[in-house]
Amino acid sequence: MEVSKVNFDKELDARGLSCPLPILKTKKALNDMASGQVLKVTATDKGSIKDMQAFASQTGNPLLSSVEENQTYIFFLQRK
Amino acid sequence: METQAEMTAILATDGALDRAINERIDVLLEKRLEAKLAEIKAAKTPSMTIIATKGTLDWAYPPFILASTAAALGWDVSIFFTFYGLELLKKDLRKLKVSPLGNPAMPMKMPMGPRWFKSIRWNIPNAVQSLIPAYEAFATKMMKRTIKKTGVAEIGDLRSLCIEAGVNLIACQMTVDLFGYKHQEFIPEIKEFCGAATFLPMAKDADVSLFI
């Protein structure tokens, strides 16, 4: 899926944060969203690629897309 | 009245019937049991219990990182703080220090200056380390600076995130008595002060149990 094609309802800037902050902030952001809404997360933590996948599968919030752009990682998560 | 032959025939049929029923039950039971177990597993909230025993700035990280992350994954988490781990429940966390003395694995690098300077690994012998006044305070200051620079969370923030996410913080009463602490020194969010007998049944039922 191309980044530009994903519509999102909320954005979270987790750049510059280390493990486990991107995950914790993602969880918090999702808590305030309605079911079906999409959250865009931007992170620079290299571990976040794997961690975000694990977070999505553990919590059941689908990870719609995960892309790397110049050492920045962009994730689109849908609130279950 | 049934004859001997008729009785034998009935018994033989019953035996065959019993065997058939038993075989059928075995097949059904196995199928149902598997489905039921999968259902129970899917419905169960995973849980984790941690015993936190260390009270230095570096060792403060593992329990709070694991607890906050597990809570974010939707797990039930409890941490039992005992011995030096109780330091992590004090109101004032500024006293947490890190000591490079006797810790050969700790990379001693400067968080400031030009790149070549920052990449130097300072191998200071233990004997020398122990003679430098306020060496621990200096090392702690350097580590805190590195923590800030690398975007690693501060311990106080991680602890707050744990509390916010509903992590159960449990303090060992025996240690409080042993070290002569007062309950007022600790954060009010502590769920209870108790002993091993309260913690162990929680650990027994937990999916993950760690000693840190």
Annotated domain spans of chain A: 3-78
pLDDT average, residue stretch B17-31:
89
pLDDT-above-70 percentage for chain B: 98
Residue B21 amino acid letter: I
Residues of chain B contacting residue A18, judged by C-beta atoms under 8 Å apart: 150-153
Q: Considering chain A, what percentage of its residues have pLDDT values greater than 70?
A: 94
Is the Cβ of A58 closer than 8 Å to some Cβ of chain B? yes
Q: pLDDT for B45-90, tens place per residue? A: 999 999 999 999 999 999 999 999 999 999 999 999 999 999 999 9
- A4: burial class by Cβ within 10 Å (0-12, 13-18, 19+)? exposed
Which of A13, A16, A18, A19 is flagged as catalytic?
A19
* Cα separation, B123 vs B187, whole angstroms: 38
Give the closest of A24, A26, A45 to B68, CB-based. Answer: A24
> How far, in Å, CA of B139 to CA of B125, rounded?
14
CA-to-CA distance for B60 and B155, rounded, in angstroms?
Answer: 7
Nearest C-alpha of chain B: how many angstroms from A70? 18
C-alpha closest to that of A52 among A76, A35, A17, A18: A76
Task: Provide the β-strand partners of residue B166.
Answer: none
Residue B110 has pLDDT above 80, yes or no: no
Looking at beta carbons, which residues of chain B come within 8 Å of A45? 151
Domain boundaries, chain B: 1-44, 47-211
Kindly give the interhelix angle for B155-164 and B61-72, rounded to the nearest 10 degrees.
30
* B47-211 CATH fold: Hypothetical Protein Ychn; Chain: A, (3.40.1260)
Task: For residue A75, count CB atoms less than 10 angstroms from its CB and return exposed for 0-12, middle for 13-18, buried for 19 or more.
Answer: buried
Residues of B in contact with A24 (CB under 8 A): 68-69, 72, 161, 165
Instruction: Identify any residues that bridge with A76 across adjacent strands, giving them in sequence order.
Output: A40, A65
Q: Are B76 and B46 in contact (CB under 8 A)?
A: yes
Q: Is residue B163 within 8 angstroms of chain A, CB to CB?
A: no
Which tokens in the block code for residue A47?
Answer: 């571990």
A3-78: CATH number: 3.30.110.40
What pTM, to 2 d.p., does this model score?
Answer: 0.78
Does A16 sit within 8 Å of B153, measured CB to CB?
no
A64, A77 contact by CB (below 8 A): yes
The residue-averaged pLDDT of A14-33 equals 92
Give the residue from B41, B73, B154 with the most A CB atoms within 10 Å of its CB, the best one to mutate: B73
CB A50 within 8 A of CB A24: no
Cross-chain Cβ contact A20/B65 below 8 Å = yes
State yes or no: cis peptide before B188, omega within 30 of 0. no
Residue A33 CA to residue A31 CA, distance in Å, equals 6
pLDDT value at residue A35: 93
Flag whether pLDDT at B112 surpasses 90: no
Q: What is the pLDDT of residues B133-156, one digit of tens each?
A: 888 888 888 888 888 888 888 899
Cβ–Cβ contact B151 with A under 8 A = yes
What integer pLDDT is reported at residue A70 of this predicted model? Answer: 87
B164-190 residue pLDDT tens: 989 999 999 999 999 999 999 999 999
Give residue A4's pLDDT band: very low, low, confident or very high (50, 70, 90).
low
**Considering chain B, what is the average pLDDT of its residues?**
88
